[in-house]
Structure 1
Amino acid sequence: METMKMGSIVFTWLDGGVTHMDGGAMFGVVPKPLWSKKYPVNEKNQIELRTDPILIQKNGLNILVDAGIGSGKMTDKQIRNYGVTQQSNIKKSLAELGLTVHDIDIIAMTHLHFDHASGLTEYQGEKLVSVFPDAAIYTSSVEWNEMRHPNIRSKNTYWKENWEAVESQVKTFDGSCMITEGITMHHTGGHSDGHSILVCEDGDETAIHMADLMPTAAHRNALWVLAYDDYPMTTISEKQKWLAYAEEKDAWMIFYHDECYRAVKWEEDGTITDSLKRTGK
């Protein structure tokens, strides 16, 4: 596991599983000769995408950002279609830190697509139960409404198996929500209508988690958006807004999906000035 300290905040990346998704879909209209220079692709045109929750420790709280793809919940067809080569080992990761699922106080859900929310629940026998029964789960009210009432497009990623068992734990917000001093969620829309990002601040230091507005460091260009985005023009405008804020603050950008980078700092021209890479990368 990789850890980064920023003032009094500690970020640790847990083992949430691995998917392999179509590279063309992940880079939208960007031609493969361009994006493949910035992110590795396999012979099936798939790119590796981690689904690693970020444990943020601040103010005596254990805050989890998203929940991984879970374990033992996907069918063989889903495992094949989503290129799943490893399922979640969150409990093992927490144990290595001297923690259990009962120590998680808050879960900040940037959105509730299956690759972020499946780790919220697990099977005990034939029944689905909450993995983190003592945690408050924060998400935007827009996202929560769509999770429970998906449309013809979104029903493929908003699964009842991921929300019914945790409904009583969910706390929703509109606009922005400070979940503890120095850590704020902001509803952005774009990737999904209810998508949110996370801004962490301590003194004069800042870290921004853009979630799936910028799933990897290769997506830094504001115009490089996903074919999966429901509202791509919103994604573009929100990326422009928050990248400008990041530049102003000399902020870290932290990632859930990137197969190589956990955190990156850039110059204005896109040159990486500092980074934290995944072990072995």
Structure 2
Amino acid sequence: MLNTTISGTGPTLTWAHGLMHSMDFESRTGWFHPECGSKVRRVRFDARGHGQSPGSVDVAHYLWSAQAADMLAIARAQSESSIALGGHSMGSASALLAAMQAPDKVSCLILATPPTAWRTRPAQIRRYRQMQRIIEQRGLASLVGLAAQNPALPDWLLAAHPAHANASQQALATMQQGNLMAILDAACQCDLPAPETLLQLRIPTLILGWRDDPIHPLETAEQLAAALPLAELQIIDSAGALQAWPSQIDDFVCRHAHSRL
């Protein structure tokens, strides 16, 4: 059973966090979820092996397709009507694949800071393999220490919110080493569907990208926006603009809540 929380009232949004993050991390940063006053019923969960959800060393459990199936199962358990799906980074990949698995169930999509894909994916896979070597040779604590020295966040975001890097490191430090090795193995086997296959997915989609982050390159966001027929793309490069994302997500979900009923 995955650790799940429900908050707010209104149309349902099922949301997935990013790789090596958790619900707690997202609550502490506030990038995607308002502290109060949401117009949306948010169903959030810790992915397998993350946060307070159980994990295993079975790589198959962490593939994006498996995470998409987890997301759909949670969404279907919470709402019989059309629902919105969304997520950050790995979570956005899960949401996209879930929508492709059950397009008639989904009212809209929110893809926040999509991960490396297609042309940029091999370089990210090399990073994951390097992380595995560090864990194998020196342990998870060493990887956490290196992450503290080299935060994987845009400089403009770190300048405004240095504590967000600490939140990311703490999320990483809570993971089980064996699970993380399997999670990284799975990440090395994953990529987004080919752009030409996305042309058939006629679901309103809000794509949220930010500048100066090679792990979440604008190239992916822009290619998704070009491939998805009903996509809206927003690109930011300031902490002030980031503060508007939770309400913009709410507004997008509410606008499309009943469009596919």
Question: TM-score over 0.5 for the alignment?
Answer: no
TM-score (norm 1): 0.28
Greater relative contact order structure (CA < 8 Å, 6+ sep): 2
Name whichever structure is richer in strand by fraction: 1
